[in-house]
A and B are shown apart, each in its own frame.
Chain A
Amino acid sequence: DTGVSQNPRHKITKRGQNVTFRCDPISEHNRLYWYRQTLGQGPEFLTYFQNEAQLEKSRLLSDRFSAERPKGSFSTLEIQRTEQGDSAMYLCASSRGGDRQKAFFGQGTRLTVV
Chain B
Amino acid sequence: EDQVTQSPEALRLQEGESSSLNCSYTVSGLRGLFWYRQDPGKGPEFLFTLYSAGEEKEKERLKATLTKKESFLHITAPKPEDSATYLCAAPSGNTGKLIFGQGTTLQVKP
Contact = CB atoms under 8 A, between A and B. Distances in A.
Chain A residues touching B, range: 20 to 34
B59 to A, nearest CB: 14
A49 B1 CA distance: 22
Contacts of A101: 96
A104 B98 contact: no
A91 B42 CA distance: 9
Interface of B: 4, 6, 9, 31-32, 34, 36, 41-46, 49, 51, 87, 89, 93, 95-103
Given A100-B49, A104-B46, 7 more contacts: A31-B96, A33-B98, A43-B44, A45-B97, A48-B96, A91-B43, A107-B43
A37 to B, nearest CB: 8
Contacts of B95: 31, 48, 50, 55-56
A100 B98 contact: no
A85 interface: no
Interface in A67-113: 91, 93, 95, 99-108, 110
Contacts of A106: 43
Nearest to A42: B100
Interface of A: 4, 6, 31, 33, 35, 40-45, 48, 50, 55-56, 91, 93, 95, 99-108, 110
A107 B45 CA distance: 9
Nearest to B4: A42
Contact of B102 (A35, A40, A55): A40
A93 B42 CA distance: 13
B43 to A, nearest CB: 4
A103 B96 contact: yes
A100 B51 contact: yes
